[in-house]
Structures are given as structure tokens and as C-alpha cells.
């Protein structure tokens, strides 16, 4: 849609340029061209506002999942190597049900409806 907006901007520039302006005036299309310009300005403002709000949003949880998974695996490996498997298991005890649920959700397949 933004590419289409660029094309419209180029066409409006032609209509307001030295070649198109006399044709627009002769045909009485000035109100339509002005309306088009106003609508395009509103679209550009809306697009810029959406882009600014998108930048303000926190990172999506699914986007943070892979780095979090790598960090947890690294922490587990360090604990096992420095403190032992029992300590690592004790530290990750509370996380185990959550990790198992996440693994199950990733591997769960949709089952077809049965009649």
C-alpha cells in the first residue's frame, strides 16, 4: 500500500506540474485533485503513526523465545558443569512443567475432526 501511495504521489505531482495543471483546470478537476491530496496526506500521517507505535511496542514473546531458550540451556550447562546435575535439577525444578508444556505445544499436531 505504501508503494501505491508513492505512485499516487508521482501522479499528483504530474497533475500539479506544468503539463497537467492546465488540463486539470480546463476539465474542472481541481477539487478532486485537492481531495486526493488531502486523503493521501491523511494516509501518510496514519502510516507514520502506525510505524511509530510499532517501534514503541515491547518485543513479542514469540520473538524472545529462542534467545530465552538458548540462555536457559547455557545456564543449565554451566550449572551442570560447575555445581553438578543435582543442583541444576533443583534450580530448574520450577521451570520443568513450563518447559514440558512448551515442548508439547510445539510438537502438538492438529487432529482432524472425527464424526
pTM to 2 decimal places: 0.45
**DSSP 8-state symbol, 58:** P
* Contact indicator for 20, 14 with CB cutoff of 8 Å: yes
Position 92 scores a pLDDT of 86
∠ CA 54-67-63, rounded to 5°: 30
Under the banding of pLDDT at 50, 70 and 90, the label for residue 67 is confident
Q: Which residue has the higher pLDDT, 59 or 96?
A: 96
Which tens digits make up the pLDDT trace of 3-52? 888 888 899 999 999 999 999 999 999 999 999 999 999 988 988 888 88
9 is written with which cell numbers?
Answer: 504521489
Exposed/middle/buried for residue 57 (C-beta within 10 Å: 0-12, 13-18, 19+): exposed
* Contact indicator for 36, 5 with CB cutoff of 8 Å: no
Q: Which residue has the higher pLDDT, 26 or 64?
A: 26
Q: Alpha carbon of 62 to those of 58, 69, 93, 101: distances in Å?
A: 12, 11, 23, 15
Q: pLDDT over 70 for what percent of the chain?
A: 86
Amino acid at each position: 500500500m505504501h508503494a501505491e501511495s508513492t505512485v499516487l504521489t508521482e501522479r499528483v505531482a504530474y497533475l500539479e506540474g506544468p503539463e497537467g495543471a492546465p488540463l486539470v483546470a480546463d476539465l474542472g478537476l481541481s477539487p478532486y485533485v485537492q481531495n486526493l491530496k488531502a486523503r493521501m496526506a491523511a494516509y501518510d500521517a496514519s502510516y507514520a503513526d502506525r510505524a511509530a507505535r510499532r517501534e514503541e511496542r515491547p518485543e513479542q514473546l514469540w520473538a524472545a523465545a529462542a534467545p530465552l531458550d538458548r540462555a536457559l540451556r547455557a545456564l543449565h550447562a554451566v550449572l551442570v558443569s560447575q555445581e553438578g546435575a543435582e543442583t541444576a535439577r533443583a534450580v530448574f525444578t520450577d521451570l520443568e512443567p513450563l518447559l514440558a508444556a512448551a515442548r508439547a505445544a510445539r510438537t502438538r499436531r492438529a487432529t482432524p475432526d472425527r464424526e
